[in-house]
Structure 1
Amino acid sequence: MKLRMHTLAVLIKKDFRLMFTNKNMLIMILLPIGFAVLYQTIFGDVKEAGMPRNFVLTLCELLNLSAIPLTGLAMMVAEEKEKNTLRVLMLSDVSALEYIFSKIISVLVLMELITIVIFFITATQLSYLPMFLLVTTVTSISMLLFGAVVGLLSKDQMSTSTLSTPLMILFLIPPMFQNMNEVIDKIASIVPTTKMMAIINDAMNGMSILSQEHLLDFGIILAWILLGVVTFAMMYRKKGFDN
């Protein structure tokens, strides 16, 4: 499959226009930012509220990582299927690799921008920003791959919600409620978003992200990335994009 930089650049520009003209996508963009503003207002002093100092930051980043790559990316693909834009692109010598790379890069850049906005809204110490971006970016890659799978399987925008909701629940709920139930705790122990939270929390408490414990956490995140690659490859071979 071909991967031409000039074609990729044109597709990325198109995808950014698509993201900011799709009403559902705009809602998902504003959701984590809106919650960051709301929670920061309500829990302005997290110490007095009896919560970890980075509670609002990690909660809103969880929402960012769970909603936008899984539903947003899939919705962009589904919208182009509905409007026959995808078929036109494929007939115009755009390869599947160029198409999916443009989607992943566009959504990843958008997520990074939202992450930075959330970071500053929550007034987190600036020295933590490089670490925070590194950990969240690595974790988001697995989400983006599964979002691409959802987009590949979705026939229209309505079906994206049905297919992405179970994945959103898997990546969002266990990290938030892992201490409330033994079953949820076991599920949370193998979910990449839980490992992301553990690395961030410990790093903000002075622990190195390259400690032996966190190397295992990164290993689990990388395992999810590989699972996403394999799942996408299998589904693409079976269905293709323009089905």
Structure 2
Amino acid sequence: MEAALRKTSALLGKDMKDLVKNPTVLLGCLLPVGFIALYSQTMGDASGEAADAARHQFLTMALFMTVGMTGCMTALYTIAEEKEKHTLRTLMLANVSAAQVIASRAVVSLTAIVVAQAACFAVLRAPIDLLAPYLLLGILSGLPVVMLSLVLGLASRDQMTAGVYSVPLILVAFLPMFAPLNETLAKATPYCPTGGAQELLNLAADGALFTADALQPLVVTLVWVAVGAAALALLYKRLARDN
């Protein structure tokens, strides 16, 4: 047990360093904060209900961006980089299990989501009572995206392939942003990985997060978490087949 904890701790330290050293992954962490900082300037001198509505809209956008860009790119690109550079082979020879590698990558990716969300939250100067539910919803909606990203990372031969695989997953995470443009998308949005989190965030802003209205979007979100976990459990052993 102690040896496993030491290995996991060492992996977490290595993965945190890899996050900063990989320019693509680092960009995926910084872009959401940059976009939100830029969008926040459009609020100008707005106050009252107009400012609250704009702030809530940008908070929702930040949720999609951090989950889609930060979560996806942090998990997918780093696994693909390890396969490309044969780091995974070295880890396996060092008696590190695939489950430990996956757990470390997932924790680092979720941490990156939380940090990026907290930065966006601070930029928008949102009400502090929303911070805890906001970060929690980021983790819940980020879990399936991170796990599916890890699955795609396992299927990627290199970082170029990972770039191709990341596009549909990022678009799925961004889907609620495009819902107002199309009636079909609007109907499908509540059932996408970030759709339930969007509804829960709306309820949190209205002070109705702990009501019966939150049950359906919460179930949708948890179902996506289960889907991501099942896909990862079935395919994570591909880690042992380094390129």
- Compute the TM-score of the two structures, normalised by the length of structure 1: 0.92
Distance 1:72 1:134 in 2: 19
Query: 1:116-131 to 2 correspondence within 5 Å?
Result: 116-131=118-133
Unpaired stretches in structure 2, ≥5 consecutive residues: none
Q: What stretches of structure 1 of length at least 5 have no aligned partner? A: none
Shift of 1:71: 2.3
Cα 1:38–1:3 change in 2 (3 A) is farther
Cα distance in 1, alignment partners of residues 33 and 85 from structure 2: 30
Q: 2:104 aligns with which of 102, 105, 109?
A: 102
Within-5 A mapping of 1:150-229: 150-173=152-175, 175-207=176-208, 209-229=209-229
Shift of residue 4 of structure 1?
1.6
| 1:114-157 Cα deviation digits (max 9, x unpaired) | 11111110010111111111121111111110111111111000
Q: Which runs of 4+ in 1 moved over 6 A?
A: none
Q: TM-score, normalised by structure 2?
A: 0.92
- Give 1:210 deviation, angstroms: 2.5
Q: Which residue of 1 aligns with 2:144?
A: 142
Give the one of 66, 74, 77 matched to 2:76. Answer: 74
Task: Tell me, in whole angstroms, the C-alpha distance in 1 between the residues paired with 2:241 and 2:72.
Answer: 17
Give a deviation string over 1:181-214, Cα, whole Å, max 9, x none: 221122212112111111112211221x232221
Classify 1:176/1:139 alpha carbon distance in 2 versus 1 (closer, same or farther; 3 Å): same
User: Which structure is higher in helix share?
Assistant: 2
**Paired residues, what number?**
240
SS at match of 1:155: coil
Q: Does 2:89 match 1:90?
A: no
Pairing of 1:33-44 with structure 2 (within 5 A): 33-44=33-44
What letter corresponds to residue 156 of structure 1 in structure 2? Answer: D
Please report the RMSD computed on the Cα atoms of aligned residues, expressed in angstroms: 2.0
Mapped pair 1:17 → 2:11: no
Which residue of structure 2 aligns with residue 132 of structure 1?
134
Paired residues of 2:65 and 2:174 also in contact (CA < 8 A):
yes
Cα distance in 1 for residues equivalent to 2:138 and 2:113: 9
